[in-house]
A and B are shown apart, each in its own frame.
Chain A
Amino acid sequence: MLVAAVLTVLLLLAVVLSLSLGTPYVAPADVLRALSGAGTPYDLVVFDLRLPRVVLAAVAGAAFGIAGTLIQSVARNPLASPDVIGITQGAGLAATVALTSGMAAVLVAPTALVGGLLAAVLLFALGARHGLAAQRFVLAGVAVAFGFRALTEVVMLTADPIDGLRAQIWLIGTLAGKGWTEAAWIAGTLLVLLPVLAWAGWALNSTALDDDTARGVGLRPVARRIGLAGTGVLVAAMVTAQVGAVDFVALVAPQVARRLVRAERPPLVCAALLGALLLVLADLAGRRLLAPTQLPAGVLTAAIGGPYLIFLLLRGRRRSS
């Protein structure tokens, strides 16, 4: 509870900071005044230029955090995330095909969504035997991921170099030039899934029990895993289709949140908040570090998340030894 409150405050601070920094610089007080609807000279900058992207970062980050938590819990593996089990690669292949075949720009995201969902279907078909057991689920996902990645490379190499570069940037994941539309798709998905997510937040608690014990206390572990994993890949496919393959948020947010609340399983709400915070900060850093050159958010999430996870791992090992 306390952790969630602190994370919310930090997220709001990061949002204000992100709205304030840039060219032109808008003082935080003016940002707040503009947000309250008082009518300031900065309304255009705050509302039209920066807010859509910051909101998208927050919503997408939250979605990555949720997807990662669900997938990691079913896989019983802290390394599992949408880009390990092939969802990202499925969306990536579809987006690459769309971008290199001259498809209309508005069709890229829907195509990527279809690709991600196809990968999910394949993952379930391969992993479903023996009730979607953790290890089989991960192995099936790794196989799907490698398959789609190989196909993506083939498409890239045979494509026009300029199109290939656009696909490359999409694959890294960037929020540049995106805003309300993408945010609305992701937020809409989360909103529709809200009852399912409320159930999932509770059902996650019991994924740590082995199947016999779970059945003994009246659970249906296989149905539960399919529900949780299905929700996770659905969210992952949607968010990846909208913002591209932003690395590491889905992997790191659940693990950091778990350590912050000292729970044995990643907590859903805190992972969502942390994912949002991480992506807002990563996008801000990407915008400002080498300004006016913009770095894709995906580069920054990997750069921030990687070392932080290493730090946590080292600290964890010392404590447990």
Chain B
Amino acid sequence: MLSTRDLVAGYDERTVLDGLDLDLPADAFTVIVGPNACGKSTLLRTMARLLTPRRGTVLLDGTAIRELPTREVARRLGVLPQSPLVPEGVTVADLVGRGRQPYQRWWRQWSSEDGAAVDQAMALADVTDLADRPVDSLSGGQRQRVWIAMTLAQDTDALLLDEPTTFLDLAHQVEVLDLLHRLRVERGRTVVAVLHDLNQAARYADHLVAMRAGAVVAAGPPREILTADLVRDVFGLACVVVPCPVTGAPLVVPAYTGGNSAGAASLSVGGLGGSAGSESVGGAGGSVGSAVTGDPDSSTASVPGARPTTGDAATPLAGSHPSKGL
């Protein structure tokens, strides 16, 4: 679907990506993670041809994206930039309609096909009720769904999103991610997103790409690659990785630092679940509950308490609908 070959990209004097080779699978939900300034947004922007690489190529289905007319790319690849500017006074239906731009010309401006695509996109993103509202009067979560609806109206096979959950509260984050998940499962779209939250990445991604300092450290299914070692490598953070009680996906729990992140990190790893600290507790479920509740100050051991409501449904949920159980 999307690949990069020997990609070098950056801003002004600064080189962010230096010779990156990457293949993103089709029909999958790929999530790119990494610390701030690791180049994940730069990678996404370059793949979406918003940023011109200094060297190397981005391949869309095997063709160099630079050699395709931008209008044709826009029919195959939708992109939602990080915090786009909301045009003043524009209504939801109007903004979603802008997604039809690649299908229009000034002498052939609006077709019934465009109308149908906009209606469908608004229904999918659940913003049909807001159609006549000005976008700048909406809440952050609604606004984000409207932007996603705009890219959906583009009717593309692939969708690239740069931190689509930033500035949203937890419920709205889950709402947006569920929508993306549904697009992949029900519509067969290829979704690529940059996310900040590792646990959300692990929960929703079919394919996880972990980056550090402009290079890919690991790529693959989160259950295979997301370990405490990887988190320490990529983020420099000591943590425990346990299976999520709801989905069974890896759940990253930062190690106890006692409020002193530098010195206490190594200490707390020992305190938290003993030997489990620096290694991945693994995808095996089973013993993990005890590892977590093994915390000596179990005042925060709320996980077992939550289990009766969701516990038995945990594993079957994993593949279908990540938040239905909640």
A residues sitting closer than 8 Å to B (CB atoms) are 198-199, 201-203, 205-206, 208-210, 212-213, 215-220, 263-264
Asked whether B102 is an interface residue with its Cβ less than 8 Å from the other chain, the reply is yes
Asked whether B151 is an interface residue with its Cβ less than 8 Å from the other chain, the reply is yes
Highest count of chain B CB atoms <10 Å: which of A199, A218, A263: A218
Does the CB pair A213–B102 fall under 8 Å?
Answer: no
The docked-state distance in angstroms from the alpha carbon of A205 to that of B105 is: 12
Does the CB pair A217–B99 fall under 8 Å?
Answer: yes
Does the CB pair A208–B102 fall under 8 Å?
Answer: no
Quick one: which of B45, B85, B88, B106 contacts A203, CB cutoff 8 A?
B106
In chain B, positions 51-87 with a C-beta closer than 8 Å to chain A are 70-75, 78-81, 84-85, 87
Contacts of B154 in A (CB 8 A): 217
Contacts of B79 in A (CB 8 A): 212, 215-216
Asked whether B173 is an interface residue with its Cβ less than 8 Å from the other chain, the reply is no
Quick one: which of A198, A199, A217, A263 contacts B98, CB cutoff 8 A?
A217
Residue on A with the closest CB to B49? A215
Question: How many cross-chain pairs have Cβ atoms below 8 Å apart between A and B?
Answer: 65
Highest count of chain A CB atoms <10 Å: which of B74, B102, B106: B106
Q: A202-B109, A264-B88, A264-B90 are in contact. Are A213 and B81 (CB under 8 A)?
A: yes
Q: A208-B90, A218-B71 are in contact. Are A213 and B84 (CB under 8 A)?
A: yes
What's the nearest-Cβ distance from chain B to residue A316, in Å? 11
What's the nearest-Cβ distance from chain B to residue A225, in Å? 15
Does the CB pair B73–A208 fall under 8 Å?
Answer: no
Residue on B with the closest CB to A210? B85
The docked-state distance in angstroms from the alpha carbon of A257 to that of B225 is: 59
27 interchain pairs, CB-CB under 8 A: A198-B106, A198-B107, A199-B106, A202-B109, A203-B106, A206-B98, A206-B101, A208-B88, A208-B90, A210-B81, A212-B45, A212-B81, A213-B81, A215-B50, A216-B74, A216-B81, A217-B74, A217-B98, A217-B101, A217-B102, A218-B70, A218-B73, A218-B75, A218-B102, A219-B101, A264-B88, A264-B89
- Known contacts A208-B87, A208-B88, A208-B90, then 11 further A-B pairs from the complex at CB < 8 Å, ordered by chain A residue: A202-B106, A206-B98, A209-B87, A210-B85, A212-B45, A213-B81, A213-B85, A215-B49, A215-B50, A218-B70, A218-B72
Residue on A with the closest CB to B77? A216
The docked-state distance in angstroms from the alpha carbon of A213 to that of B99 is: 10
Does the CB pair A218–B74 fall under 8 Å?
Answer: yes
Residue on A with the closest CB to B84? A213
Contacts of B107 in A (CB 8 A): 198
The docked-state distance in angstroms from the alpha carbon of A186 to that of B158 is: 48
**Category for how many chain B residues contact A:** 20 to 34
Contacts of A213 in B (CB 8 A): 81, 84-85, 98
Contacts of B98 in A (CB 8 A): 205-206, 209, 213, 217
In chain B, positions 83-132 with a C-beta closer than 8 Å to chain A are 84-85, 87-90, 98-99, 101-102, 106-107, 109
The docked-state distance in angstroms from the alpha carbon of A203 to that of B109 is: 11
Contacts of A203 in B (CB 8 A): 106
Asked whether B219 is an interface residue with its Cβ less than 8 Å from the other chain, the reply is no
In chain B, positions 18-68 with a C-beta closer than 8 Å to chain A are 45, 48-50
What's the nearest-Cβ distance from chain A to residue B304, in Å? 45
Quick one: which of B78, B90, B106 contacts A216, CB cutoff 8 A?
B78
